[in-house]
Amino acid sequence: MITTRELKRAELNDIWTIDRSEVIEASFVMENGALVLKPEHIDVPGWSPAMVKATTPAFETGYDGGDWFCGLFDTDQLIGIAVLGNQLFGDNSDFLQLKFLHVGSRHRGQGLGKQLFDAAATEARKRGAGRLYISATPTENTVKFYLGLGCRVLIEPDPALFEEEPEDIHLDYEIGTR
Ligand SMILES: CC(C)(COP(=O)(O)OP(=O)(O)OC[C@H]1O[C@@H](n2cnc3c(N)ncnc32)[C@H](O)[C@@H]1OP(=O)(O)O)[C@@H](O)C(=O)NCCC(=O)NCCS
């Protein structure tokens, strides 16, 4: 049975047990304010040790600061995760960032990513946000997933988040539009 619940701090390391493998055949780039799809073959095996090393402390700091970690479980096994930030930002202080979203390889395409996304949007609204900010991996599947949920490309991304991930596609989701 598939369920969702908040992760405990001691479970943060379990995030690395989610099978992130994916074969990517194309990615988007922004050209003159428009999305352009470019062929690009990337075989993503699993989490790299460098990613685990860099991101685990960031998860812990975020958790302690109030980030929301929503785990998706198949019985007792963690198979997906959404992480929502805790600081409102933007000109109208109405953005919260969807910092991380993953569904394990075997469980994709079954509506579970959408379920996690909607849970994050609901939590964001409870926290006073009107919009989600997503700095999305530019791969075809990821961007099409977000666009399909009603996210829109931000022509003027947040400067600090853009500097962190200039190759990402920066998206805006107005909560409650679906
Ligand atoms: C992106 C990701 C979270 C999507 O999760 P998922 O469980 O596979 O997606 P869902 O099954 O919930 O799909 C939800 C909707 O998006 C659509 N969608 C998903 N992938 C799509 C694609 N490649 N093209 C078009 N639509 C797509 C689905 O058709 C579905 O629409 P529907 O409700 O009208 O049927 C998942 O594939 C993943 O973890 N990928 C690797 C990690 C990643 O890229 N994370 C995001 C980092 S920013």
CATH number at residue 32: 3.40.630.30
> How many domains are contained in the chain?
1
Contact 70 CB / ligand 1 (< 6 Å): no
- Identify which of 142, 116, 113 has the alpha carbon closest to the alpha carbon of residue 6: 116
Task: Work out which ligand 1 atom sits closest to the CA atom of 107.
Answer: 7
Distance 104 CA to ligand 1 centre (A): 11
Per-residue pLDDT of the chain (178 residues; tens, 9 = 90+): 999 999 999 999 999 999 999 999 999 999 999 999 999 999 999 999 999 999 999 999 999 999 999 999 999 999 999 999 999 999 999 999 999 999 999 999 999 999 999 999 999 999 999 999 999 999 999 999 999 999 999 999 999 999 999 999 999 999 988 8
pTM comes to 0.97
Contact 106 CB / ligand 1 (< 6 Å): no
Q: What angle do CA 175, 139, 149 make, to 5 degrees?
A: 25
Distance of CA 175 to the CA centre of its chain: 15
Q: What angle do CA 60, 63, 68 make, to 5 degrees?
A: 140
Contact 142 CB / ligand 1 (< 6 Å): yes
Q: Which domain holds residue 152?
A: 2-174
Distance 172 CA to ligand 1 centre (A): 16
24, 42 Cβ separation under 8 angstroms: yes
109, 80 Cβ separation under 8 angstroms: no
DSSP 3-state of 99 = strand
Ligand 1 atom 41 nearest Cα: 102
DSSP state of 174: E
